[in-house]
Homo-oligomer: A and B are copies of this chain.
Amino acid sequence: MSFSVTILGSNSALPTSDRYPTAQILRVSERFFLIDCGEGTQMQMRKNKINFSKIHHVFLSHLHGDHIFGLMGFISTLGLLGRNKKLTIHAHPDLKDLLEPQLAYFCEDLPYAIEYKDLTFDSPKIIYEDKKVIVESLPLSHRIPTCGFIFREKPKEPNIRKEAIYKYNLGIADIVSIKNGESFYDDKGREVDMNKLVIPAPKPRSYAFCSDTRYFRKIIPAITGVDLLYHEATFLHELKDLAKSSTHTTAKQAATIAKDANVGKLIIGHFSSRYKDLTPLKNEAMEVFENVDLALDNQQYFIE
């Protein structure tokens, strides 16, 4: 089952020809979540062969243009494609007032409904849940109210070993209770080693998206142990004062967060367009935390 992030845009506010503003697709098996929606999102989705009809939830970290100027085009295109299923947008409550006049003018015959789910910015909160995935908002610290998002697979049940079904003559009730982790006793009353009964479920995977934010250590408990952390790293640390005044993070700071939160891997992004070559940002981060990748447009990052 696939768990991957596709970067649609990796740059900060001034896009370049090959680094679009922020947007990502998180894929969790057959679920596709759109995270932020910078200008050009729909074209990047085409480039990455993302099926538009599979997106039902959009998560917008904050209402700065470079994170949402692709939204009208995306919404309009969904309508032209004949969508009829509801689209849910998780965003700051201001979004509705900003969007509705435009929708009324440009998309008057939109064949599907838009549901607005208001984010709150005081503490982490579960904002989405289905059978397989939980999404949690994670307040960040930026010029305006901003949330990161943590996507977690729910724990899966272990699979019963086929040979065990025959050996111990397991009925449905047995299987259900074993899958629930309850002990099983053979016909001689001996407890059977769980490893002989089940193939353990894979560890649930997790992804945290943290952009835009100043260096904000308060997020560490919430993201501790995630498999993959995307954290903004707008600047090199030599511009730490600019990072601070513009409420952004340096590569070194992002790596420090990754290290202290003991994450599996760090992807840095939201690069200032002053950096033509991104290698120094990666190198700076790797001095603190080894497992770092650059967010590059149209690249997919898998969690196995």
**Interface residues, chain A, CB within 8 Å of chain B?**
13-17, 20-21, 39-40, 42-44, 46-47, 63-66, 69-70, 72-73, 76-77, 80-81, 94, 98, 101-102, 105-107
A69–B46 Cα distance when bound, in Å, is 17
> How many copies of this protein are present in the complex?
2
- Would A14 and B77 count as touching, CB distance under 8 A? yes
- Would B64 and A42 count as touching, CB distance under 8 A? no
Nearest Cβ distance between residue A151 and chain B, in whole angstroms?
26
Nearest Cβ distance between residue A288 and chain B, in whole angstroms?
30
Give the nearest-CB partner of A40 in chain B.
B40
Interface residues of A, dominant DSSP? helix
- Would A15 and B43 count as touching, CB distance under 8 A? yes
B residues in contact with A42, CB < 8 Å: 15, 39
> Contacts A20-B43, A94-B105 given: A73-B69 contact, CB under 8 Å?
yes
Nearest Cβ distance between residue A147 and chain B, in whole angstroms?
18
A223–B52 Cα distance when bound, in Å, is 40
Q: Which of B15, B44, B73, B81 has a CB less than 8 Å from the CB of A65?
A: B73
Q: Which of B65, B76, B98 has a CB less than 8 Å from the CB of A101?
A: B98
Nearest Cβ distance between residue A60 and chain B, in whole angstroms?
13
B residues in contact with A44, CB < 8 Å: 17
B residues in contact with A72, CB < 8 Å: 39, 65, 69
A14-B77, A39-B72, A65-B107 are known contacts; what are 7 more A-B pairs with Cβ within 8 Å? A15-B43, A17-B47, A39-B42, A39-B43, A65-B106, A98-B101, A102-B102
Give the nearest-CB partner of A106 in chain B.
B65
A101–B99 Cα distance when bound, in Å, is 10
B residues in contact with A40, CB < 8 Å: 39-40, 43
B residues in contact with A76, CB < 8 Å: 13, 65-66, 69
A40–B94 Cα distance when bound, in Å, is 24
Nearest Cβ distance between residue A42 and chain B, in whole angstroms?
6
B residues in contact with A102, CB < 8 Å: 98, 102
Nearest Cβ distance between residue A242 and chain B, in whole angstroms?
14
> Contacts A39-B70, A46-B15, A46-B17 given: A64-B106 contact, CB under 8 Å?
yes
